[in-house]
Structure 1
Amino acid sequence: MRIGAHLRQDDDPIGIGESLGADIVQLFLTDPQKWDKPEPHPQTERILRSPIDVVVHSSYVINVASLNNRLRMPSRKAVADQAAAAAEIGALGLVVHGGHVRDGEDPAAGVTNWRKLFERQQDKGGFAVPILIENTAGGDFAMARHLDAIARLWDAVGEFGAGFCLDTCHAWAGGEELPGIVERIKGITGRIDLVHLNNSRDEFNSARDRHANLATGTIDPAMLTDIASAAGAPLILETPAEGIADDLAYLRDALTAG
């Protein structure tokens, strides 16, 4: 089982990963709050040579599901550009949030837009790395907050080889019970490719995406360890930076003891 962390500083991902004793790191390849196209990473050769695996998180501004052409069209381009940049550093995949439509709009249209993303890219030879769709914490019109919505989304995109990233904080805050969550997700998608193993600062079904360190949030840490064991997928911690080294040590100890 490969365990690692999201890096807030992306200039030396391998050096930071080594200092943490990580097996895998997650990073952005461009400013997550902007539409900038990724530039070649200055440490590409070192990343490719390292035994530390890499996964890329896409920009937060992306919303593939949107019915607004001025948001959806640049989102499609950004996913393709960031997937290509992820491939250049040998990444395992590109994590993309499920997105949402606006209040009063038909969520089915957002699902259709996700399908069109894959259909259009298939005509161009497909994405350069797997697209890992991540469940989200809030929004009544979200594509991947609740399991029934994820099932509708998977009916539309599963045939294109979409992957799934399970975020434990998002599931909890989104109102999904965590016991048995791995089995329920796999029953829908057939897979979990990555786990964002995060505790939550807020209560169950709060719809607030605020991560906490593993032993200090509102989720029972033993439940997080159980999910980590059951998922059988690489684990990325996106917990607060000041405690992430302790989180990695805690998780390794807990998994070894289990």
Structure 2
Amino acid sequence: MRIGAHVRTDGDPTGTGESLGADLIQMFVIDPQSWEKPKAHPKAAEILASPVDVVVHSSYQINVASLNNRLRMPSRQAVAAQAKAAADLGAFGLVVHGGHVRNDGEIDEGINNWRKLFERQAEKGGFPVPILIENTAGGDHAMARYFDSIAKLWDAVGEFGAGFCLDTCHAWAGGEDLVGVVDRIKAITGRIDLVHLNNSRDEFNSARDRHANLADGTIDPQLLTEVCRSADAPVILETPEDGMAKDLAYLREALG
């Protein structure tokens, strides 16, 4: 099982990963709060040569589901551009949040907008890396907060080879029980390609996305370990940076 961390300082991402003893790292290819286009990474050669595997997280403002053209169209373009940048770094996937719409009446169209993303890219030969759709913590009109919504989304995009990223804090905050969560999501998607293993600072079903270190939050750390073991997928910690090394050591010991 490959275990690693989200690297928030992207100057030397795989070098930071190696110093942590991580098997893989997650990184951004642009400022995650911006719409800028990715540029060639100055450490691209080192990243490609490193034994540390890489997955890229897309920028946060992307909302493929949106019915607002001014948001949806640049979101589609950003997914394509960041997937290309991820491929250039040898990444095994691009994580993209499920996004949301404004009300219940727009949910079906939001799901269809996700399908259009894959359909239109398929006409261009597809994405160069798998798109890993991540469950989200809040919003009653979210595409990927509740598992019944994820099931509808997967009916629309599963045939295109979409991957799935399970975030434990998001599931907990979103009101999905973590006991048996791996079996329940695999029954929907047929797969888990990546786990974001995070504790939560807030209570169950809070709809608040605030990560905590593995031993410090409101989720039983043993339950987090069991999710990790059951998923049998690469694991990225997105926990607070000060406790990241301790979290890595804890998880390796807990998994034996």
- Indicate the TM-score class for this superposition, using the shorter chain for normalisation: over 0.9
User: Which amino acid in structure 1 is aligned with residue 93 of structure 2?
Assistant: G
Match of 1:165 in 2: 165
Query: Where does structure 2 lack aligned partners over 5 or more consecutive residues?
Result: none
Change (3 A) 1:113 1:94: same
Distance 2:108 2:209 in 1: 24
1:8-52 deviations in whole A, cap 9, x for unaligned?
Answer: 100101110011000000000001101000001111111111111
User: Which amino acid in structure 1 is aligned with residue 99 of structure 2?
Assistant: G
Give the alignment of 1:170-189 within 5 angstroms. 170-189=170-189
Match of 2:142 in 1: 142
Identity %: 75
Matching of residue 250 in structure 1 with residue 228 in structure 2: no
Distance 1:36 1:233 in 2: 31
**3-state SS of the aligned residue for 2:22?**
coil
Distance 1:6 1:33 in 2: 16
**3-state SS of the aligned residue for 1:46?**
helix
Distance 2:107 2:242 in 1: 38
Distance 1:11 1:37 in 2: 17
1:181-217 deviations in whole A, cap 9, x for unaligned?
Answer: 0000000000000000000000000000000000000
Distance 2:118 2:79 in 1: 10
Match of 2:42 in 1: 42
1:157-188 deviations in whole A, cap 9, x for unaligned?
Answer: 00000000000000000000000000000000
**3-state SS of the aligned residue for 1:8?**
coil
Distance 2:14 2:195 in 1: 20
Give the alignment of 1:23-42 within 5 angstroms. 23-42=23-42
**TM-score normalized by the length of structure 2:** 0.99
Shift of residue 106 of structure 1? 1.7
Distance 1:129 1:14 in 2: 19
User: Which amino acid in structure 1 is aligned with residue 69 of structure 2?
Assistant: N
Change (3 A) 1:181 1:117: same
**3-state SS of the aligned residue for 2:254?**
helix
Matching of residue 200 in structure 1 with residue 200 in structure 2: yes
Match of 1:79 in 2: 79
**3-state SS of the aligned residue for 1:120?**
helix
Distance 2:102 2:250 in 1: 40
Matching of residue 133 in structure 1 with residue 126 in structure 2: no
Matching of residue 229 in structure 1 with residue 229 in structure 2: yes
User: Which amino acid in structure 1 is aligned with residue 253 of structure 2?
Assistant: D
1:97-127 deviations in whole A, cap 9, x for unaligned?
Answer: 0000013542111000000000000000000
Shift of residue 252 of structure 1? 0.4
Aligned Cα root-mean-square deviation (Å): 0.6
Match of 1:20 in 2: 20
Match of 1:215 in 2: 215
User: Which amino acid in structure 1 is aligned with residue 64 of structure 2?
Assistant: V
Distance 1:105 1:253 in 2: 47
Distance 2:29 2:106 in 1: 32
**3-state SS of the aligned residue for 2:38?**
coil
User: Which amino acid in structure 2 is aligned with residue 89 of structure 1?
Assistant: L
**3-state SS of the aligned residue for 2:195?**
strand
Change (3 A) 1:115 1:148: same
**3-state SS of the aligned residue for 2:226?**
helix
Give the alignment of 1:4-19 within 5 angstroms. 4-19=4-19
Matching of residue 102 in structure 1 with residue 102 in structure 2: yes
Aligned length: 256
Match of 2:57 in 1: 57
1:55-89 deviations in whole A, cap 9, x for unaligned?
Answer: 00000010000000000000000000000000000
**3-state SS of the aligned residue for 1:71?**
helix
